[in-house]
Structure 1
Amino acid sequence: MGTVLWGESIWFSHPPLTPGDRASLNQYLADRLNQGEGKELGSAALALIQNRKVETVHTVGVENVDSRSPIKPENTLYQMASVSKLVTAWGVMKLVEIGQINLDDPVLPYLQRWQFPADSPYRAEVTIAQLLSHTGGQNDHFGYGGFLPGQPLQTLEQSLTLTNDVAFGEPRGVEAVYPPGKEFSYSGGGYTVLQLLVEEVTGKSFAEFMQTQVLNPLGMTGANFDWQTIVTQGQADDLATSFTEDLQPSPPRHFTATGAASLYASLADMVKFAQAHLQGNPVLSTETLNAMAEPQPGTKGTWGLGMMLYQTTDNGGHVVGHDGGNVPALNHTLRVNPATGNGIVLLLSGNRNLASDLGDDWVYWETGKLTTAARQRFWQSRLIPGLVAIGAGAIAISLWIFILPGLRRRFSGH
């Protein structure tokens, strides 16, 4: 029975969607968000891209719990959590394109303000490409939780040395402890090293470089990595309320490790970023984007250069993008299929998993294939019922083999 349940969840289970049927997709996603409002999410902003153009925009919830103002796709800002890493990867690849760094270079010679600790055994071997693909041998697993209002921000160097805003576990630093290029190990700290790399190479703040070289050229005029600039520009009131999982408002958190965890952007901004993966753009060439979507050594085919590779496509490519989640309960996803020009952007507050789950459902609709995460989700949903069924079956078999024969003999007089 366990084998049957496992096989059914892996090979036959799927979301209630018909691949390629746009009406079923639109209805399914809108229903899930509408039904979840006030129960499993506080606010959400969804956009679906078809053939490189925005086809559907749907929002639920309020931008601000005090004013009760609605979510505005053009203006409401979400703190983008780890989706920020994909945007940061574009900044790093821009430096590659203009010849200021090389992907296979060890990162250490570029760093002057901070370096991996002297006792990190592989400090001199970690390359820029390995940091982008989470194969640099770091063991931090950040997880930046950010700083609450009134808490002082660390400097970039302080954070890399001993991070005080870890989302779980004790404060710790960023090291190079495993042989690089061999195994995937998700590292927010690696992206903070890349944030420092950008500053060292360009002589500019990370936020300034990203604004002038990536965000503004893509038309992401409301997006920014620097919270203070958002305040100065009068955008602070546009920040979507950050809800906990029980849908209580929580103060906004601020970050030192902005390249790993804290781009502020609207749905409209992130749609422009998604579309930039699907057509010519003024920041990165098609050749560079194709290289970013190539599976990297040590990732078992699941990561490119800053990109998650969700599923293969009919032309041999991949659905690519990035998910993000952070405390108290943020969850976002951005996924695109360059082969079809289709994509999804979903920004969500008040739930840690729903955006990623719906992103997996979109991948099934787009490709007819489940992601690894979706298979695991379907299997887990059947685990408890399966165990109950197996237990009931075991009891029934025991009764049949051991107890019923005795009862028959007793009542038959033998």
Structure 2
Amino acid sequence: MKRLLKYVLLTFALVIVWTTIIFFSTDRGWWYTPFTQYQKPIHFITSVQKELQSEYVGNMAIAVFQNGRLVKESFHTNAKIVDKNTVFQVASLSKFVTAIGVMCLVQEEKIDLDVPVSTYLTRWQLPISSFNNNEVTVRRLLSHTAGLTDGLGYAGFKNIKNVQSLESSLSRAKDADPNKDGRTRVGILPGSEWRYSGGGFTLLQLIVEEVSGQSFDTYMRTEIFEPLMMQSSFYQWNEKFRDRLCDFYNADGSKASHFYYTAQAATSLYTTLADLEKLFHLFNSESNIKKPLSSKFQRMMWQVEASKLGTPIYGLGTFLFTETEKSHFIIGHDGQSNPPINTAFRFDTKTKDGIIILTTGNPDFATRIASDWVFLKTGKIDALLFVLQQNKMVKSIIFGNITIIILIILIAFSRMYKHADTNRIKNG
């Protein structure tokens, strides 16, 4: 019995050691190999163009910044010409831009980050829950810590005539992703954990409309895009941009549909590389452009509001991709939807370096390239690259632990038989 206990404890110890090694090697990128070793922007983008030859991407626009200055742009297409003025839908990158709009209302003292959201709502209210809905605040909506369990994910509508009203979508989104019930509601204790919520940003969309007295799209265009001279950015589809809208593709290269959304704040931003370059300069303190959001309120966006496994992951509407030094992060957001749209925005708050990538036709190309840019720059795996590596990590943990268990069993049986043979010899 003691021998069995010894083998069980040894197995348990080795499993813990192996799991810890694999987890930390993934988290720290000890064995990670980026798609290129070139860090200089020109060589980096040349490597990106080579990488495009090995997998399908329908359209791509990319820009790399150094010390707050645009260094290099590059474009790729399989059909209609793509340039810096081509209009892309950017999926959840919309949330990052939405957060800037919300923070402008905070700056103007029209919104308080820490009062119940019900203070601002007349058209719709969160349904009664098992928790105190008054603990749902704008700060928690922006940081995905409000306790909402919708898990949205919006699939959109093929026909613009089918787009729901904002209130109807909050009650139950007809375009919820598969296996999501589409209801925006409080399902866990507000403030208890980080849980990504598209519904939370749709609720912010309603709050902006209630507070500003304007449609969400009109508010964002007049208060954010016009001051920044982002003349080709909008949340509500505008037919005059039809000729400049990029083609949509499925992952197999076939043409895909253009989808329309009720959830504009969460996923429906249309913009161009040229406009996002202007947005990039909003965060550059040395830029002399007119800034609708002051540096003080910009910095509030990257204060840590949520962590995972002890690591900062999210501020106010922005991922904290990795910490570069105390109180400085690489910030921004990615977007991903189906049919495949994948976008990425990274900004180093210390050095003012950054990268913007917009793609169609590939579910994760932009995220992988942007995360490799972060890895080459910092030697660290960023928050989204860690997620992309999770499947490989889990497989390694499972394979290693099964191997450990089998080896311990074989050793145990081998020693048991050896011990039995020794006893037989002794007993002659």
Q: Judge conservation of contact 2:80–2:247 (CA < 8 Å) in 1.
A: no
Aligned counterpart in structure 2 of residue 69 of structure 1, from 80, 100, 110 = 80
Cα RMSD (Å) of the superposition? 2.9
Out of 179, 182, 206, the position equivalent to 1:196 is: 206
Q: Deviations over 1:8-59 (max 9, x none)?
A: 54542233455854455233323223433x4xx2111111111112111111
Query: Matches of residues 27-106 of structure 1 in structure 2 within 5 Å?
Result: 27-36=46-55, 38=56, 41-62=57-78, 68-74=79-85, 76-106=86-116
| Structure 1 stretches lacking a partner, 5+ long | 63-67, 410-414
Residues 106-141 of structure 1: per-residue CA shift (max 9 Å, x gap): 110210011111346322221111100001110001
> Is contact 2:126–2:185 with CA below 8 Å preserved after alignment?
yes
Asked whether 1:292 is paired with 2:292, we answer no
Q: Does 1:320 align with 2:331?
A: yes
The equivalences for 1:245-394 within 5 A come to: 245-279=251-285, 280=287, 281-297=290-306, 301-375=312-386, 377-378=388-389, 380-381=391-392
Aligned residues: 395
Q: Which amino acid aligns with 2:126?
A: F
Once residues 130 and 122 of structure 2 are traced to their aligned partners in structure 1, the CA distance between those partners, rounded to angstroms, is: 17
- Residues 384 and 122 of structure 1, relative CA distance in 2, 3 Å threshold: closer
Q: Does residue 179 of structure 1 match 2:219?
A: no
Question: How far apart are the structure 2 equivalents of 1:261 and 1:308?
Answer: 15
**Change over 3 Å in CA distance of 1:368–1:95 after alignment to 2:** same
Using the TM superposition, name which of 300-309 and 391-400 deviates more. 391-400
Instruction: For residues 143-162 of structure 1, give each alpha carbon's deviation from its aligned partner in whole angstroms, at most 9, with x where no partner exists.
Output: 01111126511111111111
CA 1:306 to 1:159, structure 2 compared with 1: closer, same or farther past 3 Å?
Answer: same
Distance between the aligned counterparts of 2:141 and 2:407, measured in 1? 55
Shift of the alpha carbon at 1:212? 0.4
Deviations 1:275-325 (A, max 9, x none): 212235421111111111100156652110111000001354100000111
Greater mean deviation of Cα atoms: 22-31 or 393-402:
393-402
Write the distance in 2 (CA, Å) between the matches of 1:108 and 1:9: 42
Q: How many angstroms apart in 1 are the aligned matches of 2:41 and 2:89?
A: 29
More displaced, 192-201 or 376-385?
A: 376-385
Q: Is the 8 A contact 1:182 1:297 kept in 2?
A: no
Paired residues of 2:367 and 2:384 also in contact (CA < 8 A): no
Partner Cα separation in structure 2 for residue 351 and residue 139 of structure 1: 28
The one-letter code of the counterpart of 2:175 is: D
C-alpha distance in 1, partners of 2:403/2:189?
Answer: 48
The equivalent position to 2:32 in structure 1, one of 14, 35, 38, is 14
Cα separation, 1, equivalents of 2:22 and 2:128: 51
Query: Measured at CA, do residues 390 and 204 of structure 1 come closer, stay the same or move farther in structure 2, by a change above 3 Å?
Result: closer
Q: Structure 2 counterpart of 1:59, which letter?
A: F
- Tell me if structure 1 keeps the 8 A contact 2:22–2:397: yes
The answer as to 2:246 corresponding to 1:237 is no
**Matched residue, 1:412:** none
Deviation at 1:178, TM superposition (A): 2.1
Out of 156, 159, 163, the position equivalent to 1:153 is 163
